[in-house]
Amino acid sequence: MGKYTIEEFINQTKQDEQENEYFELETPRILEVNLTDEVWAKAGSMISYNGQIKFEREKVLEHGVGKMFKKAFTGEGSSLMKASGRGSLYLADQGKKITIFDLDNESITVNGNDLLAFEPGIDWDIKLMKKVAGMLSGGLFNVTLKGSGKVAITSHYEPLTLLVKPGQPVITDPNATVAWSGHLTPEFRTDISFRTFLGRGSGESIQMEFSGEGFVIVQPFEEVYMSGSSSS
């Protein structure tokens, strides 16, 4: 196991040239975009491409003054790049597992650090979680995506979906929360006794509470967000 001839290794790990969906999981941790027009992706996520593809960083005013203003607070982790042209584009983010959603006139909110790519026709907006900006290193921000089309998100290891039901709120650790129903608005609360009981740092005392009806996606990993850069 783990020993191959070069030919065996190539056959086992080469890209599948038969697949032609717009978004394809080439491996669980590499996204293939079969580009015919353009796509928005997390800046720095390109690992390879072929064909005629041009890359551009998001222009300062490309999405309006409102989003530019919010981006000034969210740092490098929210930077986007636009890939335009025709060819195969391969994206990845620090080996994190990738999940593709096909939105059908729906909305989903994603932790900004966990958004990998989305179709340009999808409407999106950045929201800084102001209540926790001073409590967590660098704060937290999220991106709400609405409409129809493909969205790719990332998680450390396998994600778990928790269902939110009326009268049964779901409480999560912000650092382990990946995404949630677009119509849900989490409330933030601090629990000093919870922090003291665990004997951990101040970040453990902040919790997200989701009420109503929908879903929350969590990962078995607590990301640490650094101000002005994406986490490792």
pLDDT at 161: 96
pLDDT at 216 over 90: yes
pLDDT-derived band at 79 (thresholds 50, 70, 90) equals confident
Question: Which pLDDT value is given to residue 232?
Answer: 33
Looking at per-residue pLDDT, the higher value among 205 and 208 belongs to: 208
Whether 157 contacts 221, CB under 8 Å: yes
Q: What is the pLDDT of residue 220?
A: 95
134-181 pLDDT, tens digit per residue, is: 555 444 678 899 999 999 999 999 999 999 999 999 999 888 999 999
Give tens-digit pLDDT for 12-37: 888 776 657 899 999 999 999 999 99
* Residue 192 confidence (pLDDT): 60
pTM, two decimals, is: 0.82
What integer best gives the mean pLDDT of the chain? 82
Q: Tell me, what's the pLDDT at 172?
A: 93
Beta-bridge mates of residue 163: 215
d(CA 41, CA 56): 10
Say what the pLDDT of residue 29 is. 97
Residue 66 binned pLDDT confidence (cut-offs 50, 70, 90): low
% of the chain exceeding 70 in pLDDT = 75
What domains sit in the chain, N to C, each tagged with a CATH number?
20-218 (3.60.160.10)
CA distance 146 to 125: 9
User: Backbone phi, then psi, for 63, in 5-degree steps?
Assistant: -115, 20
Percent of the residues in the chain that have a pLDDT greater than 90, as a whole number: 53
Read off the pLDDT of residues 3-13 as tens digits, 9 standing for 90 and up.
888 888 888 88
Tell me how far apart the alpha carbons of residues 227 and 139 are, in angstroms, rounded to a whole number: 7
Confidence of residue 126 (pLDDT cuts 50, 70, 90): confident
Q: Which residues contact 193 (CB under 8 A, 6 or more apart)?
A: none
